[in-house]
Amino acid sequence: MAGATASGEQGWSSRTAFILAAVGAAVGLGNIWRFPTLAGENGGGAFVLVYIAFVVLLGLPLVLSEILLGRTGGSDAIGSMRNVAEQSGRSKRWGALGALQITAGFLILSFYSVVAGWVINYVFISGGDFFGALFAGDPFSVAFNGETQDQITGRMGDLFADPMRLIILHVLFMAATVGIVASGVHDGIEKAAKWLMPAFFVLLIIITIYGAFTGNFAEAVAFMFTPDFSKITPIVLNEALGQALFSLSLAAGGLLTYGAYVSKDVNLAPTAGLIALADTSVAILAGLMIFPIVFAVGLDPAGGPALIFQTLPVAFNVMPGGALVGMVFFILIFFAALTSSISLLEGPTAWTMDRFGWGRKKAALIVGMVAWLIGVACALGYNMWSDVRLLGFWNIFAETDILDTLDGFTGKIMLPLGALFVAIFVGWRADANVVKAQSGLSGGMFILWRFLVAWAAPVAVSLVLIFGLLPGLLGE
């Protein structure tokens, strides 16, 4: 059967279903929370430029490589790597690359769900404001009416200081993720993507238009597209690479696993192009949605991880219809986060199903519970365990709490390493004929792709890893 895996999984019902699910996996907190945060902190234009260069030159070729490996291997991430290696006459130890990826995805899931919990918190707060105002006969009221700026930003601190609340929100989000993955590729993942992604796009466009009309669009465009090259340091390169990989769902088992459910008649190259294009457009649009609002109220774009949770609510407090827009904004992020977290859970779930012969429901539940437990540690890292520094010996992690350490370790180290080995495998170790036939590319395009995967990606990723990480490790 086309697109069926070892565990007997049925596969996507159509190419469109796969594209929606893969775009759903790609578009998430990475686009709306992480990208604007990093762009804001790293000087805007320069970061955006480097990011786009990484997406086009490395990200896109690797998206094609990973889907191709998944489809050729036809199993979970580890099984697929072993299968393709075997077919190419290479050691089955390449399965370790699948293991590295699944581990990265699993760790990302654990903190991703905590951040998504914050999003749910703000859906509740802004929803309460909106419905309160609606019943009072003023649906176009601002959010947090009557609160001072300090009170509004203080809400994030209140949330962080309350472990119980953080944990309950984290339970809600993880339960939704487990519920969808437990329902299967067809009835769970595919259905969720089919409803949530179109809804997401409509909301995104509405708020971007709102921001363009009521915010300071010109300043946002200047901020995002005027590069200041002096801002490009090895650390910025490392951040941008990590973000490109994170945003495209590369090296975290998601694409390898989803690839196995793609039927043989789908032409992979244009499909990969579409996924990368959609993901990058949403990141740019998210910037164009958020920064005009930030600048309109004279706030700092370098607000850090609190950008969308503290800075934006302050803006919603003074903008027309802020309560309604705020609620819609957080619902939009919630949808995006959910279609991504299901892909993060699917990787390790598919593997446990194949490895231990468990049913889908049991596998999803157990994997989700373990990831949830690690997430609890992240949540406690904001209050009871705020002094814990998991990798405190390493300069770049000396100041980071548990969640940021997991985020940084996966994004800056595990994803680049995973991408490096995917590039080496597809570029040098896999059977060239199989790779060529599966890619759907021919002539110059095939040569270009092959060059980017075999040469550009390994060299660039290695350089970024060496110059981005070593100085910190050596204490310089």
Q: What residue ranges bind ligand PFF (CB under 6 A)?
A: 25-26, 28-31, 105, 108, 246-247, 249, 252-254, 340, 343-344
Contacts of residue 142, Cβ cutoff 8 Å, sequence gap at least 6: 316, 317, 318, 319, 320, 321, 322, 323
- The CB-of-233 to ligand PFF minimum distance in angstroms stands at 23
- Residue 173 or residue 217: which is nearer to ligand PFF going by CB? 173
Quickly tell me which residue has 């706030």 as its tokens.
299
Minimum Å gap between C-beta 253 and ligand PFF is 6
The minimum distance between CB 167 and ligand PFF, in angstroms, equals 22
Output 17 or 25, the one with its CB closest to ligand PFF: 25
Task: Closer to ligand PFF by CB, 319 or 419: give it.
Answer: 419
Comparing CB distances to ligand PFF, the nearer of 268 and 344 is 344
Could you tell me the smallest distance in angstroms from the CB atom of residue 441 to ligand PFF?
Answer: 24
Name the burial class of residue 14, with classes exposed (0-12), middle (13-18) and buried (19+) by CB atoms within 10 angstroms of its CB. exposed
Three-state SS letters, the chain = CCCCCCCCCCCCCCHHHHHHHHHHHHCCHHHHHHHHHHHHHCCCHHHHHHHHHHHHHHHHHHHHHHHHHHHHHCCCHHHHHHHHHHHCCCCHHHHHHHHHHHHHHHHHHHHHHHHHHHHHHHHHHHHHHHHHHHHCCCCCCCCCCCCCHHHHHHHHHHHHCCHHHHHHHHHHHHHHHHHHHHCHHHHHHHHHHHHHHHHHHHHHHHHHHHHHHHCCHHHHHHHHHCCCHHHCCHHHHHHHHHHHHHHCCCCCCHHHHHHCCCCCCCCHHHHHHHHHHHHHHHHHHHHHHHHHHHHHCCCCCCCHHHHHHHHHHHHHCCCCCHHHHHHHHHHHHHHHHHHHHHHHHHHHHHHHHHHHCCCHHHHHHHHHHHHHHHHHHHHHCCCCCCCCCCCCCCHHHCCCCHHHHHHHHHHHHHHHHHHHHHHHHHHHHCCHHHHHHHHCCCHHHHHHHHHHHHHHHHHHHHHHHHHHHHHHHCCC
d(CA 451, CA 142): 53
Q: Tell me the closest approach of the beta carbon of residue 407 to ligand PFF, in angstroms.
A: 11
Residue nearest to ligand PFF (CB): 30
Nearer residue to ligand PFF within complex by CB, 319 or 342: 342
Q: Do 256 and 70 form a contact (C-beta atoms < 8 A)?
A: yes
How near is the Cβ of 2 to ligand PFF at its closest, in Å? 23
Q: From the CB of 159, what's the least distance to ligand PFF, in Å? A: 21
Minimum distance between the CB of residue 112 and ligand PFF, rounded to whole angstroms? 7
Nearest approach, Cβ of residue 251 and ligand PFF (Å): 8
Tokens standing for 29?
């907190």
Q: How far is the CB of 259 from ligand PFF (least distance, A)?
A: 12
Return the number of the residue (180 or 319) whose C-beta is nearest ligand PFF: 180
**Nearest-approach distance from CB 130 to ligand PFF, in angstroms:** 26
Specify the residue, 34 or 450, whose C-beta has the smaller distance to ligand PFF. 34
Residue with Cβ nearer ligand PFF (81 or 133): 81
Q: Can you tell me the distance from the alpha carbon of 333 to that of 435, in angstroms, rounded to the nearest whole number?
A: 36
